Structure 1
Amino acid sequence: MAIKSRNESRVIRHKRIRKKIFGTAERPRLAFYRSLNAIYAQIINDETGETLVSASTIDRDYVAKYGKRGGKSIEDAKKLGQFLAEKAIAKGIQNVVFDRGGFLYHGKVKAFADAAREAGLNF
């Protein structure tokens, strides 16, 4: 058996998760992704294939509010979770289903999710 890279293993986990998670109009999917340089999150209606709300640590609005660009720390993940929740609630979205993107629910992923919950998103 060939040795898989870290990203290949993550993609396999993500596919396994996506079999069970589906975003609807009443409860869209909150998709999370982190790269080496930034953190990205989207709220997606999978029925129509439409992105309802998106945010990232390199987004202009995020940088204008928090003053720095990037996403390498847990603090940045917390800020992004709060920022995305505020944008979602402004659009009338309160209930979502969380898609961790194959990442382990630990560190930045957990910080992001907890901050989004505290800011008012239900999942």
Structure 2
Amino acid sequence: MRAPSVSDPAVLPVEHVLAQIFGLLFTLEIFRVRAHLTAIPYEVELEIVTRGVVDVHYFHGPVQPGVLRFQQPRTLFPRYLLEGRSGAPVLVEAIQHDLWNAMGRQVGGPIAAVELDLPLMWQVVDAPFVP
């Protein structure tokens, strides 16, 4: 994952981080469906590496973003197990909590959890593949 700006410090919107993480889960589920491996659980291990100072912006007010930083230049998250789609909401919540904790915060107050429309995501994943 690379910060989309080259300013000093680099600026990384938290939406970019979340989109990368949730995009990975979406891609893995598409692979499982297309490979007919939906009964097989999988684990995801995330790692975020920053070089130099990276300001992670999140929006907590109408004008000013909040600014956080990862506490370590290399943040390795625990392995997350997904045994089936019914466990996806718990997985998404755990990833978000761990992400904010890695930056020294907790969900609550100015930091709201992102709600994914998982049923819509599954509709997209299950749509017939048209080459």
Instruction: Name the TM-score, length of structure 2 as normaliser.
Output: 0.33
Q: Whose strand fraction is larger, Structure 1's or Structure 2's?
A: 2
The structure showing larger relative contact order (alpha-carbon pairs under 8 Å, at least 6 residues apart) is: 1
Instruction: Name the TM-score, length of structure 1 as normaliser.
Output: 0.35
